[in-house]
Amino acid sequence: MPELPEVETVVRGLRPALEGKRIARAEARRPDLRFPLPENFAARLTGRTVREVVRRAKYILIRLDNGETWLAHLGMSGRFTVSPGASASSGQAGHNSGWALAEKHDHVIVEMADGGRVVFNDARRFGYMDMIPPGGEAASVHLRMLGPEPLSAAFSPDYLAETLRGKRTPIKSALLDQRVVAGIGNIYACEALWRAEISPQRSAHTIAGGRAMRLVGAVRSVLDDAIAAGGSSLRDYVQTDGELGYFQHNWGVYGREGESCSACRADVHDECKISRIVQSGRSTFYCPRRQR
Q: Catalytic residue, from 19, 259, 282, 288: name it.
A: 282
Report the run of H or E that residue 209 belongs to, with start and end. Answer: helix 209-228
The yes-or-no answer on residue 167 being catalytic is: no
Give the burial class of 179: count Cβ atoms within 10 A of its Cβ; 0-12 exposed, 13-18 middle, 19 or more buried: exposed
Query: What whole-number distance in Å separates Cα of residue 104 and Cα of residue 70?
Result: 23
Which strand (E) or helix (H) includes residue 157?
Answer: helix 157-164
- What's the rounded Cα separation, in Å, for the pair 283 and 127? 22
Examine the residue annotation and report whether 36 is marked as an active-site residue of this protein: no
Considering the candidates 3, 6, 137, 191, report the single residue annotated as catalytic: 3
Active site residue 172: no
The residue from 25, 55, 56, 58 that is catalytic is: 58
Vertex 111 angle, CA 105 and 112, to 5°: 150
Q: Give the integer Cα–Cα distance in Å for 151 and 217.
A: 10
3-state DSSP assignment of residue 217: helix
With beta carbons less than 8 A apart as the criterion, state whether 264 and 290 touch.
yes
34: Cβ contacts below 8 Å, ≥ 6 apart: 75, 125, 126, 127, 128
Residue 186 CA, chain-centre distance (Å), reads: 12
Active-site annotation holds for 2: yes
Residues labelled as active-site residues: 2-3, 58, 282
